[in-house]
Amino acid sequence: MKNYLTKLAFALATALMVFPAFTTRADDAPKTKVAVVISTLNNPWFVVLAETAKARAEELGYDATIFDSQNDTAKEAAHFENLIAGGYKAVLFNPTDANGSVANVLKAKAAGVPVFCIDREINATNAATSQMLSDSYSGCVALGQYFVKTVGTEGEYAELLGIVGDNNTWNRSKGFHSVVDRYPGLKMVAQQSADFDRAKGLEVFEAILQKNPNLKAVFCGNDAMAMGAYQALVAAGKDKQVKVFGFDGADDVVKLIAEGKIAATGMQFPKLMAQKAAEYADEYIKGKRDFQQKIPVKVDLVTPANVGKYGDFGKKQ
Amino acid sequence: MMRRAIPFIVLIGLAGGILWFFPLFSVVPLKRAQEEKAAATFNPQKFAETFWTDKLLPYLDKAVPAETLLPAIQHDPADAKKRFARSLGMSDSYTYFLSGTGRVIAVSDDEISLAITAGSTNAEVSLPMGMLFGNAIRDGTGLLDVNAYPNSQDFNNIANELNHLVETRVLPGLKERATVGATIHFAGCAEVDDESTDLKPLHVVPIQAEVK
């Protein structure tokens, strides 16, 4: 019996010595790599998009890295070269240019790396595995209707456009104009690009404001430009005269809507899109192949009447 | 001297022959180039008109009868949504494709209100009479697929053009003939964005409307 117990103790001790060694090896095994390629991190909205995608990919057990394209298609192309060579198994992608980014996605596809577009689309349906896109057009139709309701059917207004090569810029602008252009009394006296950038929004709108003292409103293609425009209005003492309309659902703009300083925005749900894209990549890596090519994500109109329901880049639960 | 020039002459002749059959560029009249470019560009107006006549109108008999849908919504909106609604992508909004006959109980510049159920005096369906916006017709029938359009601007323009066709082909006749007490047979699509306001009455954008 004693002999038996000694043998059992020896066997257990051996098992305990060996088993942790395996555990340590499993921990040290390199994780599958997922890339998060973002058009620009010079905008808090895209930072949220990037960090949420990264965090969700990490939660799912991947080693995720963020690449900043700085709104430059050449930098974006270099990122794709590097990530393909670096053995990344999936790309969560916010494109810089609807046409210019197609070649990068096709290159990844040829290398067997699936690409999941987030928020912005590419003008191809045979390149990305799936595209999760904010329904910017419909969001701006709703925003345009609210614009007419609050500004009225007469008066001068200006528009700040985003990056001219991005489909979202035109989907937003066209959605807005599909409503507002039907009221001939509403005159657009200036339309200029500020590249979705807050500092440029401030600079461009300051110049517009100087030339057009009778403005009643400004429609901005995103919230960063809306913040820039609002800053220019405060500096000029015209923040009560000119109503600001943004698009994105950025936290600072949602707070200003609650304070009655900005008229409205469109909530785009960046966290929801980023999380879903990471989950799709996980499903792909685990073998799923039948993904819907385009998944429009509804944009909610946020106004002083319903602003309490929104915050933290989404709808409060 | 002449002998030395022969290889060059042959070479130039050969190069000329190759360029003749395989030109590096060709000159095309500007008008033809513009026509070719226009033909290659998606034309939403033309698309919507063909779609309206060839696909949409023949499909109207597939609409859910209002006398089935309205009681289902009244009884259990969530179940009615599950059974009869369509939703595009990730969205709380959805659309119904329905047809029915109703009695006009009110007419204004913005809408015509209809009672559908026998004996009802409440507006159960409203047909908008003003400017049309939104994607009710584009998305309501399920005949158009967003995945078929590489550039979503094309898909969005279709919604605009379909609304324009309703405004120009359907609404003028309705405005002219709809009076309180008249009977209207309609088929169309309703977009539900906010269930607290959009279900009672159901705002139906008519694709076809016949006043009796």
- Over the stretch B143-178, which tens digit does the pLDDT of each residue have? 999 999 988 889 999 999 999 999 999 999 999 999
Which residues are registered as beta bridge partners of A132?
A: A118, A295
Residues of B in contact with A294 (CB under 8 A): 89, 146-147, 152
- Would you call B92 and A298 a contact, using CB atoms and an 8 Å cutoff? yes
| CA A252/CA A312 separation, integer angstroms | 10
CA distances from B142 to A43, A69, A234 (A): 37, 37, 47
The domains found in chain B, sorted by start residue, are: 2-211 (2.40.50.420)
Cβ <8 Å between B147 and A125: yes
| The predicted structure's pLDDT at residue A24 | 46
Q: What is the distance in angstroms between the Cα of A68 and the nearest Cα belonging to chain B?
A: 25
User: What torsion do the CA atoms of A228, A234, A239, A244 make, to the nearest 10 degrees?
Assistant: 10
- Chain B interface includes A45 (CB < 8 A): no
CA atoms within 13 A on the CB side of B75: 9
Neighbour-count burial for A15-47, b at 16+ CB within 10 Å, e otherwise: eeeeeeeeeeeeeeeeebbbbbbbbbbbbbbbb
Q: Which residues pair with B202 in a beta bridge?
A: B125, B199
Q: Which residue of chain A comes nearest to B163, CA vs CA?
A: A178
| HSE (side-chain half, CA atoms, 13 Å) at A50 | 21
Answer whether A167 sits within 8 Å of B153, measured CB to CB.
Answer: yes
Average pLDDT over residues B23-32: 71
B187-207 pLDDT per residue, tens? 999 999 989 899 999 999 999
**Which pTM value belongs to this model?**
0.81
Q: What is the pLDDT of residues B42-78, one digit of tens each?
A: 999 999 999 999 999 999 999 999 999 999 999 999 9
So what's the pLDDT on residue B22?
78
Residue B153 touches chain A, beta carbons under 8 Å: yes
Whether residue B134 lies within 8 A of chain A, CB to CB, comes out as yes
Residue A8: its pLDDT value, please? 54
Half-sphere exposure of A160 (CA within 13 A, CB side): 34
Report the 10 Å Cβ neighbour count for A76: 25
CB pair distance less than 8 Å for B133 and A170: no
- Substitution target in A129, A138, A292 with the highest count of B β-carbons within 10 Å is A138
A124 to chain B: nearest residue by CA?
B150
Distance CA A46, CA A176 (A): 23
Interface test with A, best of B41, B151, B196 (most A CBs within 10 A): B151
Q: How far is CA A123 from the centre of its chain?
A: 17
Q: Do A138 and B152 touch (CB under 8 A)?
A: no
Distance CA A212, CA A111 (A): 53
Do the Cβ atoms of B151 and A167 come within 8 Å? yes
What interface predicted TM-score (ipTM) does this complex get? 0.79
Bridge partner list, A220: A160
Which residues of chain A lie closer than 8 angstroms to B152, CB-CB? Answer: 121, 133, 137, 167, 171, 294, 296
CB contacts under 8 A, A 60-119 vs B, are 98
pLDDT tens series, chain A, 317 aa? 455 555 655 555 555 454 444 444 445 678 999 999 999 999 889 999 999 999 999 999 999 999 999 999 999 999 999 999 999 999 999 999 989 999 999 999 999 999 999 999 999 999 999 999 999 999 999 999 999 999 999 999 999 999 988 888 998 999 999 999 999 999 999 999 999 999 999 999 999 999 999 999 999 999 999 999 999 999 999 999 999 999 999 999 999 999 999 999 999 999 999 999 999 999 999 999 999 999 999 999 999 999 999 999 999 87
